[in-house]
Amino acid sequence: MLDSDAFIRDGFIRLEGAFPRDLAAECRAILWRDTGCDPADPATWTKPVIRLAHYVQEPFQAAANTPELHGAFDELVGEGAWAPCRAMGTFPVRFPSDEPPGDDGWHIDTSFPGDDPADFMTYRANLASKGRALLMLFLFSDVGDDDGPTRIRVGSHLDVPPILAPAGEAGLAFMELAERAVPATEHRPVAHATGRAGDVYLCHPFLVHAAQEHHGTEPRFLAQPPLIPSGPLPEASPVRAAIDRGLRG
């Protein structure tokens, strides 16, 4: 059993050993190849971040669909209320660097297209969390405090429902939401998404989070796919319960 009360309160939980470490290593080998960098030669690590996307190979699907994860999805979202994850989304592979990554601003991930489906900046989020049941952070490498772990504003998801409620079904676009939610959550304490390869952070879709610079020694491999809902979020689900708590203030 997961600590659903902690999820509702903090906006995330870490599921340790959600998928096998040897599977993480198999996936890293594929990712290393696609970066064009040599894992044995740091001189080839010339960029602070390389973005890779949409991995659907069997090792990635296996990592995303373990019994441990499926059980967690049932507990947080509801049985039958989510669709199996068939693609790993974006991998922002972060390398040790003194160069700013340029993508480390606080934000909330939006979940459905706006006027231009090809323009990510027009994507939107609404109070019903259309298109996203969970934000997920899959650790495919060990991540310590110096390794560019994702920063999380603990409890920030509770500040977002009152911001989204007046916008109705249309919701708010990425920048509109960030401009309101980021200052509204500055008082929240910050946690780092650290852990071992195979750990997964299961996060409320409204959680405010950010990347950061990597000052460690080994590249960080992390995927951030959404968990797609199969329909409206069940009223009894912890994801929906957190939204309702945020509305009550």
Residue 47's domain is classified under what CATH number?
2.60.120.620
pLDDT, average across residues 235-246: 97
Contact indicator for 237, 129 with CB cutoff of 8 Å: no
Cα–Cα nearest to 223, from 11, 6, 43, 18 = 18
In this predicted structure, the answer to whether residue 181 has a pLDDT above a threshold of 90 is: yes
In this predicted structure, the answer to whether residue 106 has a pLDDT above a threshold of 90 is: yes
H/E stretch holding 183 reads helix 174-184
pLDDT at 133: 98
In this predicted structure, the answer to whether residue 239 has a pLDDT above a threshold of 90 is: yes
Domain of residue 32 covers 4-248
Res. 1 pLDDT band, cuts 50 70 90: confident
pLDDT, average across residues 234-239: 96
In this predicted structure, the answer to whether residue 118 has a pLDDT above a threshold of 90 is: no
pLDDT at 249: 83
Q: Which amino acid is at 142?
A: D
Residue 31: count of CB within 10 angstroms of its CB: 22
pLDDT at 89: 86
Question: Considering its fold, how many domains does the chain have in total?
Answer: 1
pLDDT, average across residues 57-79: 97
92 φ/ψ angles, rounded to the nearest 5 degrees:
-85, 95
pLDDT, average across residues 73-102: 95
pLDDT at 42: 96
β-partners of residue 93 are 50
Res. 18 pLDDT band, cuts 50 70 90: very high
Res. 62 pLDDT band, cuts 50 70 90: very high
DSSP 82: B
The set of residues, in sequence order, having a beta carbon less than 8 Å from that of 179 and lying 6+ positions away, is none
Give the integer Cα–Cα distance in Å for 137 and 125: 19
End-to-end CA distance of the chain: 27
pLDDT, average across residues 149-155: 98
The set of residues, in sequence order, having a beta carbon less than 8 Å from that of 45 and lying 6+ positions away, is 37, 95, 96, 97, 219
Res. 19 pLDDT band, cuts 50 70 90: very high
Whole-structure pTM value: 0.96
